[in-house]
Amino acid sequence: MTTPEQAPLLLLIDDSPAIHRLLAFKLKNDGVEFLSAFTGGEGFELARAHQPALILLDLNMPGTDGFHVLRQLKNDPKTIEIPVIVVTGSTESREKVQAFEQGAMDVVAKPFDAPELRARIQSALRMTRLMRMLEHRAQIDGLTGLWNRKHFNDRLANEIDCAARKSTPLSLMICDLDHFKKINDTYGHPVGDSILQDFANVLTKEIRSYDIPCRYGGEEFAIILPDTSPDQALAVAERVRAGIEARRWANHPNVQATASFGVTDTPARDLSGTEAWIAAADRALYFSKQNGRNRVTHFSTMPPVPTGSSTTRAHAA
Amino acid sequence: MPDRSPDRPPLISDFATDPEMRDLVMEFVAEMPGHVRELHEAWERHERDTLVRLAHQLKGCCASYGFEPIGDAAARLEAGLKQATATLEGLTREFQDLTDLCSRAAA
């Protein structure tokens, strides 16, 4: 993904070298980098390989139908998100409509009016930035700034696949603030909320940069720990546990927050779906709750489950 | 003195007075003899696809360099080459129009 700091990469697909020169010149002060393709096929390959921030596509190229290139770009998961501005010498509205229908973000007419083209490029880049931001926001928990449950579900499935493919270890940690309802009832929801936010801060401070912290719901958090052995996962969980236990609040000196933790790695030989992982981490969490709270339990060290025991989702707070 | 008959005045770019565009237009004009040569070679060898490609490129860029009449002539030749009903006389005239305009291009 293009970050605002680096110059956005602009891919121009046009059969005329003179047009490439002209555009590079006209846009030389616009802070964009140029990538040139002179045929549709070349353009498609460059788009896949370099992931430009924007594509300018000439609709009329000999040997290639520009619409064909547009369809290719919009049917490939690697290029579908890249905005395309279609350039056409035709003034026919039918062709413009068709371009929009096939996924073009904008249409500009040749010959170029440089200021207009510049404005349209900036507008397309801005629009793309906003869309990406919205997409990102939709996966973020509003209160804590951690990833939300939807992102967690997607990511866990992803990381399980990835770990299986690369044969790397994977750990999952679920934690739950102890007696959180009592804190809410005693001090009010604003205090409860700020404790959740603080817990999120402790969490992000104590985990590693490549761990994936999520708010699972209420006062429950789930952290995916890629490439992490059970011992390493226990160490991370223990750091977070100690971190929240040591935390004090200036305005509420009597508040003491702790959390219970359940950790798992490969939970079952025959079940590798996300449900099996969550259930295993949850059982370990339940065990922590049953055994005094403010502690970390690994699924693999738990005593065997008595036969006939039912789901553990509704564990004690 | 270059031999330039009065009925073939130089064709000046619309951007000739734009100081920003000056170097670009000069470079573009300098390429014109090359284009004319390529057009003639393709014409003599009856290379229709090459002619279409060359005409198409000129159609696509000439207007952007302030040579709209050349772009229009290129568009006419390209359209003619793609038309099943085009006559040799018609194509010859379009070809001559284009090469003539190209050779008159000036910055």
Is A208 within 8 Å of chain B by CB?
no
Q: Are A220 and A176 in contact (CB under 8 A)?
A: yes
Q: Which of A200, A271, A201, A308 is nearest to A299 (CA)?
A: A271
Is A109 within 8 Å of chain B by CB?
no
Of the listed ranges A124-128, A240-244, B1-5, B55-59, the least confidently predicted one is B1-5
Higher pLDDT, B56 or A48: A48
Chain A environment of B56 (Cβ under 8 Å): 15, 60-62
Give the closest of A60, A61, A112 to B64, CB-based: A112
Longest dimension (CA), chain B: 45
Chain A environment of B63 (Cβ under 8 Å): 89, 110-111
Q: Chain-wide mean pLDDT for chain B?
A: 89
Kindly determine whether residue A14 and residue B60, on different chains, have CB atoms separated by under 8 Å.
yes
Distance in angstroms (rounded) separating the CA atoms of residues A40 and A26: 23
pLDDT of residue A249: 82
pLDDT of A30 higher than 90 = no
Nearest chain B residue to A23 by CA: give it: B64
Query: Is the overall model pTM greater than 0.95, yes or no?
Result: no
Q: Residue B42 carries which side chain, given as an amino acid letter?
A: A
Please give, rounded to a whole number of angstroms, the shortest distance from the CA of A24 to a CA of chain B: 11
Q: Chain-wide mean pLDDT for chain A?
A: 89
pLDDT of residue A159: 92
pLDDT of residue B7: 66
In sequence order, the β-bridge partners of residue A12 are: A36, A56
Neighbouring CB atoms inside 10 A of B64's CB total: 24
Question: B14-48, pLDDT tens digit by residue?
Answer: 888 888 888 999 999 999 999 999 999 999 999 99
Of the listed ranges A175-189, A260-274, A275-289, B57-71, the least confidently predicted one is A260-274
Give the closest of A14, A21, A89 to B24, CB-based: A21
Q: Which of B75, B66, B82 is nearest to B98 (CA)?
A: B75
Higher pLDDT, B38 or A7: B38
Question: A240-276, pLDDT tens digit by residue?
Answer: 999 999 998 888 888 889 999 999 997 654 456 898 8
Question: A142-175, pLDDT tens digit by residue?
Answer: 999 999 999 999 999 999 988 888 888 999 999 9
